[in-house]
Amino acid sequence: MAAKMKTVKKGNIVPYLFILPAFIIHACIVTAPSLSTLVMSLFEWNGMGNAKYIGFNNFKEIFKDPLVKLAVVHNIEWLLVFITVPLLLGFVVAILVSQLRKCQMFLRTVYFVPYVISAAVAGRIWTAYMNPYYGVNQVFAGFGWEKLSKMQYLGNPRIALFAVAFVDNWHWWGFIMVLFLGALQQVDPTLYEAAKVDGANRFQELIHVSIPGIRQTIAFVLIMTIMWSFLTFDYVYIMTNGGPANATEIMATYIYKNAFVKYRAGYANALCVIQSGICIILYFLQKYVSKLGGMDDE
């Protein structure tokens, strides 16, 4: 009896031993820095010298800082673009590609290639394309399209953010398409056969079979898009660095500037806390909406 109890006890410990290394790594790399960010948000610190405790003054300044409000608005605009354009484009193309019997792998590869290109490389290439002196504007000028040839894609405050979003969408939508395509291929073919027997057309199959069959993938893509939209940094920093005239300033670039340009690490940490809080709120909001829509069975 004692030997049996000892075996059971050991059996309960072994699974925890397997996950212990990952837990330690996560605690050192993620949990500890996150807690230090929360603590340092209460200090005035330049990132190198001694930190001075100032309580919640950083947070009080955040709510008075007009650039923070502007950055949040830009993040929301970015979010609205990325929960519509790449998702719809990726879904439609996934539906079309899934119907093909030939060249499917070739098309999947072609559409996915932009996702594996480094953001630094892609950002620089597209910045050159959008240069008014030797980019696509000169091509438009050659065709006699004067209005397009004079367009300042990254220099016009009204369209600069959407120009950068276009480039990020070029990089992102192929990944979404591959996710949707993989999910569509997992839908039971007998459901489509039953729908055809009942007289359903292609659109009805899409609404009543395809979309319900991949609702978990849709929920996953939505939540990841929401998170990454508020954490985006690379393309904006590479292509515009928040300009012109703060027209593309987002939370991540503003945090970077405060931490490494203005040497206000304490204020940057407070901004990180606010950014994390927004992401958490959006996460639970998305989960709630997904449950109402039947996309989340948990």
The confidence score (pLDDT) of residue 269 equals 95
What's the structural domain count of the chain? 2
Q: Are residues 29 and 86 in the same domain?
A: no
Q: Let me know whether 176 and 257 are in one domain.
A: yes
Strand partners, 44: 52
Asked, as a colleague might, if the bond just before 114 is cis with ω within 30 of 0, I would say no
Q: Are 164 and 248 in contact (CB under 8 A)?
A: yes
Same domain, 116 and 29: no
Q: What is the DSSP letter of 296?
A: -
Contacts (Cβ under 8 Å, ≥6 apart) of 74 = 161, 248, 249, 250
Q: What is the pLDDT along the chain (298 residues), one digit of tens a residue?
A: 445 445 445 457 888 888 999 999 999 998 998 899 999 999 999 988 899 999 999 999 999 999 999 999 999 999 999 999 999 999 999 999 988 888 888 988 899 999 999 999 999 999 999 998 888 999 999 888 888 888 999 999 999 999 999 999 999 999 999 999 999 989 988 988 898 888 888 889 888 899 988 988 988 898 888 888 888 999 999 999 999 999 999 999 999 999 999 999 999 999 999 999 998 898 888 888 777 766 665 5
Domain assignment of residue 298, yes or no: no
Task: Give the pLDDT score at 230.
Answer: 87
Look up the CATH number of the domain holding residue 191: 1.10.3720.10
Report the predicted TM-score, pTM, of the whole model to 2 decimal places: 0.87
Residues 22 and 168 in one domain: no
For residue 13, the enclosing domain spans 1-40
In a domain? residue 76 = yes
On whether both 240 and 269 belong to a single domain, the answer is yes
CB 58 within 8 A of CB 267: yes
Q: Do both 87 and 122 map to the same domain?
A: yes
Burial of 81 (0-12, 13-18, 19+ CB in 10 A): middle
Nearest to 94 by CA among 209, 208, 183, 224: 183
- My answer on whether 3 and 87 are in the same domain is no
In this prediction, residue 293 carries a pLDDT of 63
Domain assignment present for residue 108? The answer is: yes
pLDDT at 119: 93
Q: Which pLDDT score is estimated for 8?
A: 45
**Residue-level pLDDT at 9:** 52
- Cβ–Cβ < 8 Å for 185, 262: no
Q: Which residues pair with 53 in a beta bridge?
A: 43
**Domain assignment present for 262:** yes
| pLDDT score at 5 | 46
**What DSSP state is assigned to residue 208?**
I
Task: Identify the DSSP state of 126.
Answer: H
In a domain, 174, yes or no: yes
Q: For the beta carbon of residue 118, count every other beta carbon within 10 angstroms.
A: 11
Whether residue 227 is contained in a domain is answered as yes
Is 297 a domain residue? no
Clarify whether residues 13 and 94 are in a common domain.
no
Pairing between strand 52-53 and 43-44? antiparallel
